Structure 1
């Protein structure tokens, strides 16, 4: 055992010198290689930055990674305040912004610290508790309704390349034991173990505004973690074939609507012309009816006077004695002649009135018949409302259509009454003419027998003739009164009809103007939608181009002199809002053992 122990001690004594010799040999080889120029195929930068809880920038450093092709000396650039080799113990030499290092391994890492180097984004974080804005320190341990607002924008003091081409992904982890009723309208909320994780995304070249609302108890909050990277994949343009086909159908539909509205406009113009003609005919008819009503009153008054005269004559002749002389008969003859002349005048007036009424009636009939008898169903009207046309114009169109159809139907129902008026005028005119002829015949007979005739017999015949004439005239007068009453009622009623036709004409005029405006509008719509498929494809291509960053060449965040930069990423983190943990007493330090104590421990 002693010999083994002595041999073991000898090995221990010899081993350090052997190791030192080997290390010296290896070091000499490294120095030999380090004098040679090395090369790398690519460089990667990961920028780490910390912010305070409201988003103000605090510290920043960069981890630089090189993929080594040939070991040896490599050079990098950056305004670092301090550099540190993270791969081996070889020295890194920094002169101003030039950093030189010796790289032996396949991957080489070093860290560079930065000061006063702004991030490409401004990040502003605000907190409200129960509607009152508070600083993070005052929020700790509070209860209430929390609103967290994060706003991101371009930092005008930094290189715009990263803001324009990088997206920001922000992640906030909330303890489910503290936070409840979490709402994030602009983001997504997901489970992460027992916690809830809220994620927001700010697109390249876009400012962002994001909010979280939640009920909190004994408030504490983890750091907000922000990653900034370029979009990692190319965005393929979607297949828009079916969509553009639908848009082409829409374009064709709007063009068809425009053509349909053009036809509608033409039809409304014809309707307006027909309504104008209807109004002209109605005006003529209304004037004729009003004149008829006025003339009827005068006619009845004249007829009543004739009736009274005939009755008076009949009574006077009936009460006369045989001593009536020739002069009396001549005076009676003269009166009968005047009466006959009055009846002739009444006959002439009725004939003129009949002609005027006939002309007015014909004009009205033609105007009413000119109104189209289209049967537009409720389904057709509903389809017109759903076509996208101006609803006010459609309301006017429907109202005008209904009024026109009402006027046409009313006229159709009352057409027989109009015909009866014309027939009554003709019949009454004939009756007056017949009475006038009979009266004139009586006068002529009486006049022809004045000489050499027995006055008693003549008077008796005259009396009988006057009585017959008075009796027939009484019947005529009664019919005339009934006729004039009907004419008066017709005049009053038609006045209302004519007023409705006047409103109809005004409505069709406005409708024609509205249809013209609608036609102009559908023309603009058809013109603006005619190239919708091309516009849509252009917009899609523009959006794809805006967010497709696959062809963007990376550049160094640290220095424009750096080459072969393959990727640059940002890892940003805010301060957490948490209670400080109580410091634990450090363990007692053991007394450092010497070499022989450690050696003896091996055998214990």
Structure 2
């Protein structure tokens, strides 16, 4: 890349140093408005350019068949493709008809009336169902960057008294006095297939107009980049916290598995146990105390989970600012996000959070139930000698509660794992997103680059170029 850049710079310097030796006059700063007269089928009949200068001595270049001074009666000097004027006072404009009929775009217009193809020029006074198809493509004979840098607006006006049931997919339709104005936008570097339809009577229509301009949009990339950085930082903290929670859940799950095995052994042993009531009572009391302490921690876990849920929804809503979506909550996010492909990663993340919170609820419920069962066990141990037939049944309930708790813990662990995967995927998706956004904006705005002349590459000081193209009007 550096070698190529060096070659290009050297070539540019060589060209600049060579100009005086060739004796070519430096071009004057100007603006170009390119007018194209299109036929009814979209082909180009004529192109003329209005060149506007800021006064003084003027030098311009262009291959014209005819030149008209629009600012006065004094003649312009023409030598080959060089046009000059001496000592112009104030702004000077002249119109030149180009010898070429090539625009950066190609246009095709086809019309159908009641399903039958009809020439554009023959639609005057027509009645029936009308469809107009406009095709926009790139002209391979034009190498200037206008196709890639300029957006087009294609405008069709239909008289509301003569046209009904107007439809145009992808267009903006607005009232403009007695007309309906249909406006299509073609982005830089894109072709297009544009269609509109209407039920018409005694039809007539103004000319179809096509305007080409270079988009200059201030979309606040610095602000977008800052927000993405903030989002990445927040997601990084969430991802780290999710990792810690997942590690804790793994340890808790292993402990519960061991605990459940102990409950099973207790259940099996109680069926034949008839002695050692005192030892069993002490063990049951200790178990009840431990489970009571575990249950007391449930409120803190639930509170922490609620805070994490709120943080995740807050981060996601921050990410979606400007998307047009309403604020997401645990009650509405699934309906709002639905099956949208562009928000699938976000929905997966939120699903994981909700699964985690629900699993934790099951976990705390199970702990409370298990604690209650342990308390019953401690009380029943004192009466075990006289109620030996009842104790195995209570132990079986305790085991079932432990099994439910273990299942809830597995769900919690799975939910945390999915949540961790979601935060990791989201972080990976955001990695380099500023570059992706810049690329998308380049598609919309045409990307960076200087304004060049449509008329001649010798015109190197051009402030602006605009295209205004028109078809014939349809008259009755």
Q: Which residue of 2 aligns with 1:53?
A: 40
SS of alignment partner, residue 508 of structure 1:
helix
Q: Which residue of 2 aligns with 1:340?
A: none
Q: Which residue of 1 aligns with 2:299?
A: 376
Q: Does 1:410 align with 2:397?
A: no
Distance of 1:237 and 1:146 partners within structure 2: 39
Distance of 1:513 and 1:420 partners within structure 2: 41
Contact 1:400 1:504 in 2 (8 A): yes
Of 465, 469, 472, which aligns to 1:572? 469
* Distance change >3 Å, CA 278–CA 367, structure 1 → 2: farther
Distance of 2:229 and 2:457 partners within structure 1: 50
Contact 1:221 1:577 in 2 (8 A): yes
Of 393, 409, 418, which aligns to 1:508? 409
Q: Does 1:491 align with 2:388?
A: no
SS of alignment partner, residue 488 of structure 1:
coil
Q: Does 1:112 align with 2:97?
A: yes
Contact 2:295 2:364 in 1 (8 A): no
Residues 194-221 of structure 1 show CA distances to partners (whole Å, capped at 9, x for unaligned) of: 3333334434334455554555444332
Contact 1:274 1:371 in 2 (8 A): no
Distance of 2:375 and 2:309 partners within structure 1: 30
Of 136, 154, 172, which aligns to 2:156? 172
Q: Pairwise CA RMSD of aligned residues?
A: 4.7
* Distance change >3 Å, CA 405–CA 554, structure 1 → 2: same
- Output the TM-score relative to the length of structure 2: 0.66
| 1:149 Cα offset (Å) | 4.8
Distance of 2:283 and 2:119 partners within structure 1: 93
Distance of 1:170 and 1:522 partners within structure 2: 44
Distance of 2:374 and 2:144 partners within structure 1: 80
Q: Which residue of 2 aligns with 1:155?
A: 139
| 1:286 Cα offset (Å) | 0.5
Contact 2:47 2:98 in 1 (8 A): yes
Q: Which residue of 1 aligns with 2:445?
A: 547
SS of alignment partner, residue 571 of structure 1:
strand
Contact 2:154 2:210 in 1 (8 A): yes
- Could you tell me which runs of 5 or more consecutive residues in structure 1 were left unpaired when the two chains were aligned: 1-36, 293-349, 425-482, 580-604
- Output the TM-score relative to the length of structure 1: 0.54
Contact 1:48 1:571 in 2 (8 A): yes
Of 216, 236, 249, which aligns to 1:268? 249
Residues 108-148 of structure 1 show CA distances to partners (whole Å, capped at 9, x for unaligned) of: 74643535x42111334455678x58445586555566555
| 1:177 Cα offset (Å) | 1.3
| 1:396 Cα offset (Å) | 2.8
| 1:224 Cα offset (Å) | 0.8
Aligned pairs for 1:30-429 (under 5 A) are 41-42=28-29, 45-62=32-49, 69=56, 76-78=61-63, 82-83=65-66, 98-99=80-81, 106=88, 107=92, 109=94, 111-114=96-99, 117-125=101-109, 134-137=117-120, 141=125, 148-180=132-164, 182=166, 186-208=170-192, 210=194, 212=196, 214-231=198-215, 238=220, 250-292=231-273, 350-351=274-275, 354=277, 361=284, 365=288, 368=291, 371-376=294-299, 383-386=307-310, 387=312, 388=350, 390=352, 391-421=354-384, 424=385
Q: Which residue of 2 aligns with 1:586?
A: none
Distance of 2:116 and 2:306 partners within structure 1: 54
- Could you tell me which runs of 5 or more consecutive residues in structure 2 were left unpaired when the two chains were aligned: 1-23, 313-349
| 1:395 Cα offset (Å) | 3.0
Distance of 1:252 and 1:70 partners within structure 2: 58
- More strand as a share of residues: 2
Residues 34-64 of structure 1 show CA distances to partners (whole Å, capped at 9, x for unaligned) of: xxx9998456654333333343334444556
Distance of 2:289 and 2:259 partners within structure 1: 8
* Distance change >3 Å, CA 245–CA 114, structure 1 → 2: closer
Distance of 2:50 and 2:34 partners within structure 1: 7
Distance of 2:151 and 2:61 partners within structure 1: 27
* Distance change >3 Å, CA 101–CA 487, structure 1 → 2: closer
- The number of equivalent residue pairs is 407
Distance of 1:38 and 1:260 partners within structure 2: 69
* Distance change >3 Å, CA 383–CA 212, structure 1 → 2: farther
